[in-house]
Amino acid sequence: MEFRIARGEVFLRVIAILLLVLTAFLVVFDTQTKVVFLTIEKKVTYKDVDVLKILLYVSSSAAGYNMLQLCKYSCSSKGSYEMCMVWISLLLDQIAVYLTFATNTALFEAAIFAFTGSEAFQWLKVCNKFTRFCEQIAGAILCCYVASILMAMISIISAYKVFRMYSPKRFLRLKGK
């Protein structure tokens, strides 16, 4: 049973890493140039929107963190600090999920304003002019949400590992010694 859980966690981490890297690539390599007026061109990149830069940093960091967690399986050793490492792993998994989800949700909000505009703020509909850019960012948002869901599932597995250590049977057995 424990082997199946570990194998499932590795599978989820690999898929999450691939989706996070795909998100980063979709954001970084997304540019579009449009002629605004006669010979004046406007080029839009991820550097024009601050939340896209933040999403790039967060998704890259989360992919790197998940890669480090995968390395944990190749050099795992049973030691007295196992309980501490399981707690730290749960905490870091939670932080990665919440940061990724929050950043992606902020980007989704900015994308809604870019798509619909806002008359109250006098913001124009940007996606009418830069449709390919907006479509590629929408793909990045979708990939990052799926990665967030997968990382939430990984966090559930981490919580299971923590609370498994506090089972009543194990506590009673340790107390009896």
Q: What is the pLDDT of residues 115-139, one digit of tens each?
A: 887 666 556 677 778 888 888 999 9
Domain residues for 131?
2-176
| pLDDT for residue 66 | 94
The number of folded domains in the chain is 1
Question: Is the per-residue pLDDT at 144 higher than 50?
Answer: yes
Q: What's the one-letter identity of residue 14?
A: V
| Mean pLDDT, range 129-152, rounded to an integer | 92
Cα Dmax for the chain: 85
Q: Is the pLDDT of residue 81 over 60?
A: no
Percentage of the chain with pLDDT > 70? Answer: 85
Q: How far apart (Å, rounded) are the C-alpha atoms in residues 169 and 171?
A: 5
First to last CA, the chain: 26
Taking the C-alpha atoms of residue 67 and residue 173, their distance in angstroms, rounded to an integer, is 36
